[in-house]
Amino acid sequence: MASYNLKINGKAVSVTIDEDTPLLWVLRDELNLVGTKFGCGIAQCGACTVHLDDTAVRSCSIPIASLDGANITTIEGLAKDKLHPVQEAWKELDVPQCGYCQVGQIMTATSFLKQNPNPNNKEIRNAMNGNLCRCASYNRIEKAVALAAKKMS
């Protein structure tokens, strides 16, 4: 076991844990940040998406040993006093059905819109392509990302 220092949602935290423990389980089991979901465990579904220095990454496949000193944002830290514009768009368009994948969808969308604030529909579809939704809410997800881009401009 080793100690790792991270900045999670703007706060400095230290954890002592096995070096090969994935970030997902550090967040959920050690820090009680359970908004990030476990889906597949092989970085294919997107349910576990968080931001690593503002870039969307799959937390289920990143060992904590590679993250000492990293800046991580989870869904709990996405917005401070009010909803993030992406969250507002999700709510406005009533995107989720079961909701399980939505945290990963929102985290992917917010990272994407930071990099591309004025995307077209094809760019949105391509950016969101790696996040799976069992309820097939893809059309509403695409519309919500476009609405969020408008809200953020």
User: For residue range 18-77, what is the model confidence (pLDDT) as tens digits?
Assistant: 999 999 999 999 999 999 999 999 999 999 999 999 999 999 999 999 999 999 999 999
In the chain, the number of structural domains is 2
Residues 9 and 71 placed together within one structural domain of the fold? yes
Among residues 77, 107, 122, which one ends one of the domains? 77
Residues 39 and 89 placed together within one structural domain of the fold? no
In this prediction, residue 1 carries a pLDDT of: 93
Among residues 20, 46, 77, which one ends one of the domains? 77
Residues 67 and 93 placed together within one structural domain of the fold? no
For the record, the structure tokens of 12 come out as 């400095």
Residues 89 and 69 placed together within one structural domain of the fold? no
Residues 89 and 32 placed together within one structural domain of the fold? no
In this prediction, residue 61 carries a pLDDT of: 97
**Nearest-angstrom CA–CA distance, 81 and 83:** 7
Domain with residue 22: its CATH number is 3.10.20.30
Cβ within 8 Å of residue 70, ≥6 positions away: 6, 7, 52, 53
Structural domain harbouring 35: 2-77
Residues 106 and 126 placed together within one structural domain of the fold? yes
Residues 107 and 132 placed together within one structural domain of the fold? yes
In this prediction, residue 124 carries a pLDDT of: 98
- Average confidence score pLDDT of the chain: 97
Residues 116 and 99 placed together within one structural domain of the fold? yes
User: For residue range 68-122, what is the model confidence (pLDDT) as tens digits?
Assistant: 999 999 999 999 999 999 999 999 999 998 989 999 999 999 999 999 999 999 9
Residues 12 and 59 placed together within one structural domain of the fold? yes
Phi-psi region of 73 (alpha: psi -120 to 50; beta: other; left: phi over 0): beta
